[in-house]
């Protein structure tokens, strides 16, 4: 595989961690991005070394130190990076690693994302989701490159993300492992208003998501239902939403089984009203079960897009959050 351009995954995690320290999100699996990484007995750069994990080694995240607090690995060096300490499991051993040198095994991006710098990451596979025709989306393997373009917000040229395709993608996926290219859903996205549907998951809204069927595919596949509940009230001149909950239902069981997704869309504090939209649904991992992307704004300073995959689900779940993309300032 040709060497791909690597994006500063950690910087986005730093931004979210600093601005929303109370509710940090980290993937269940992460991969070593440095040449090697020491697994230590405690969250301290001077703690006893257990083993050295090679670049590309995948670790299972158990917990974070101090609720994911961002600290410097070396407080005597002003140039030392900030990151959380992670308790992880690797090759049957458990210990602590510094988060500046690991990243998620899968990431979601959008074209014209800003690139901050290159990192010494393992090679990743890049894919874009495009409208194949009037009825279906497809996943294409792509390459990405840095492009200089003027940005009105910064008032100068910035380096952004661009693919080698002539069309603009709906979104991009960067994965440490390959994904199956081809059909990935039946246009489950974005302009739902044109189909007399709403993409909002505000209190009282309900909708279905499904993997879709390609041409000549008659297999009956599961459909999941999303249902949002809560209480909206007028306080002075402002509408406030209390007791918001977001549920996922599996219609194939009787009665339908359910999963509570609220923890993944919970605002940073009670002063922020939940604002959740569905951006896309389909079948990215090609397991004939629906995947989805939700957009919410849980912080005072930004919004995010979260990718949920059926292949990442644990026992008792149908979908599990795999990664997120953060937009500061939205």
pLDDT tens per residue, range 161-187: 889 999 999 999 999 889 999 999 988
Burial of 218 (0-12, 13-18, 19+ CB in 10 A): exposed
> 193 and 96 in one domain?
no
Residue 17 lies in a domain: no
The pLDDT value given to residue 23: 52
Mean pLDDT calculated for residue range 138-160: 84
Residue 273 lies in a domain: yes
DSSP result, 162-194: EESSSSPPSEEEEESS----EEEESSEES-GGG
Write down the mean pLDDT value for the chain.
Answer: 84
Q: For 45-87, write each residue's pLDDT tens digit.
A: 999 999 999 998 999 999 999 888 889 988 888 888 899 999 9
Q: Which own/partner contact pairs does 128-134 have at CB distance under 8 Å and 24+ positions apart?
A: 128/163, 128/165, 128/169, 128/170, 128/171, 128/172, 128/173, 129/169, 129/170, 129/171, 129/172, 129/173, 129/184, 129/280, 129/282, 129/284, 130/165, 130/167, 130/169, 130/170, 131/170, 131/187, 132/183, 134/187
Mean pLDDT calculated for residue range 116-120: 46
Reply yes or no on whether the pLDDT at 142 is more than 90.
yes
Reply yes or no on whether the pLDDT at 327 is more than 80.
no
Residue 23 lies in a domain: no
The pLDDT value given to residue 79: 86
Domain count of the chain? 2
Res. 6 pLDDT band, cuts 50 70 90: very low
> 213 and 99 in one domain?
no
Reply yes or no on whether the pLDDT at 4 is more than 50.
no
Which of 83, 103, 123 terminates a domain? The answer is 103
**Structural contact between residues 84 and 65, judged by C-beta atoms closer than 8 angstroms:** yes
Distance CA 298, CA 280 (A): 19
Which residues, 6+ apart, have CB-to-CB distance to 237 below 8 Å? none
Q: CA angle 268-273-275, nearest 5°? A: 95
- In angstroms, what CA-CA distances link 112 with 132, 257, 286? 21, 40, 27
> 206 and 91 in one domain?
no
Residue 299 lies in a domain: yes
The pLDDT value given to residue 149: 78
| Residue 134 Cα to chain centre, angstroms | 27
Q: Which residues pair with 241 in a beta bridge?
A: 232
Reply yes or no on whether the pLDDT at 9 is more than 80.
no
| Tokens, residue 180 | 């199956």
Residue 111 lies in a domain: no
> 306 and 195 in one domain?
yes
The pLDDT value given to residue 13: 40
Reply yes or no on whether the pLDDT at 1 is more than 80.
no
> 96 and 196 in one domain?
no
> 315 and 201 in one domain?
yes
The pLDDT value given to residue 215: 85
Residue 290 lies in a domain: yes
Distance CA 212, CA 288 (A): 8
Which of 103, 127, 142 terminates a domain? The answer is 103
Reply yes or no on whether the pLDDT at 118 is more than 60.
no
- In angstroms, what CA-CA distances link 122 with 7, 39, 317? 11, 18, 30
> 86 and 193 in one domain?
no
Residue 126 lies in a domain: no
Reply yes or no on whether the pLDDT at 120 is more than 80.
no
Which of 57, 87, 103 terminates a domain? The answer is 103
Res. 313 pLDDT band, cuts 50 70 90: very high
Q: CA angle 84-89-91, nearest 5°? A: 140
The pLDDT value given to residue 159: 79
The pLDDT value given to residue 328: 67
Tell me the H-state helices in the chain: 9-19
Q: For the whole model, what pTM was predicted?
A: 0.84
SS3 59: strand
Q: For 10-44, write each residue's pLDDT tens digit.
A: 334 444 444 443 457 888 999 998 889 999 999 99
Q: Which residues pair with 142 in a beta bridge?
A: 126
Share of the chain above pLDDT 90, in %: 51
Residue 149 lies in a domain: no
Q: For 241-297, write each residue's pLDDT tens digit.
A: 999 999 999 988 888 899 999 999 998 888 888 999 999 999 999 999 999 999 999
Reply yes or no on whether the pLDDT at 195 is more than 60.
no
CATH number at 66 reads 2.30.30.40
Reply yes or no on whether the pLDDT at 92 is more than 80.
yes
Sign of the Cα torsion 135, 138, 143, 149 reads positive
> 94 and 213 in one domain?
no
Q: CA angle 158-159-163, nearest 5°? A: 140
The pLDDT value given to residue 89: 97
| Residue 126 Cα to chain centre, angstroms | 15
Range of the domain at 68: 28-103
Number of Cβ atoms within 10 Å of the Cβ of 49: 11
């Amino acid at each position: 595989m040709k060497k791909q351009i690597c994006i500063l995954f950690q910087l986005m995690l730093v931004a979210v961690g600093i601005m929303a320290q109370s509710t940090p999100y980290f993937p269940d699996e992460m991969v070593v991005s440095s040449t090697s990484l020491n697994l230590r007995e405690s969250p301290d750069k001077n703690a006893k070394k257990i083993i050295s994990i090679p670049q590309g080694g995948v670790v299972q995240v158990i917990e974070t130190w101090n609720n994911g607090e961002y600290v410097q690995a070396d407080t005597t060096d002003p140039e030392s990076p900030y990151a959380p300490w992670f308790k992880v499991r690797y090759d049957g051993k458990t210990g602590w690693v510094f988060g500046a040198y690991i990243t998620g095994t899968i990431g979601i991006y959008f074209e014209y994302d800003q690139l901050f710098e290159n990192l010494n990451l393992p090679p990743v596979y890049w894919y874009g989701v495009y409208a194949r025709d009037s009825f279906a989306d497809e996943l294409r393997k792509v390459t990405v490159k840095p492009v200089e373009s003027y940005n009105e917000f910064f008032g100068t040229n910035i380096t952004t993300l661009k693919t080698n395709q002539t069309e603009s993608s709906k979104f991009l996926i960067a994965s440490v492992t390959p994904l199956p290219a081809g059909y990935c859903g039946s246009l489950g996205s974005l302009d739902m208003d044109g189909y007399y549907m709403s993409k909002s998951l505000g209190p009282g809204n309900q909708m279905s998501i499904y993997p879709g069927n390609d041409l000549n595919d008659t297999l009956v596949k599961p459909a999941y239902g999303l249902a949002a509940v809560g209480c909206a009230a007028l306080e002075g001149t402002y509408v406030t939403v209390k007791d918001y909950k977001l549920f996922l239902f599996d219609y194939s069981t009787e009665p339908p089984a359910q999963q509570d997704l609220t923890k993944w869309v919970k605002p940073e504090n009670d002063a922020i009203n939940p604002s959740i939209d569905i951006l896309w649904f389909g079948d990215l991992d090609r397991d004939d079960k629906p995947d989805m992307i939700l957009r919410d704004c849980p912080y005072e300073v930004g919004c995010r897009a979260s990718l949920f995959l059926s292949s990442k689900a644990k026992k008792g779940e149908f979908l599990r959050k795999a990664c997120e993309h953060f937009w500061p300032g939205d």
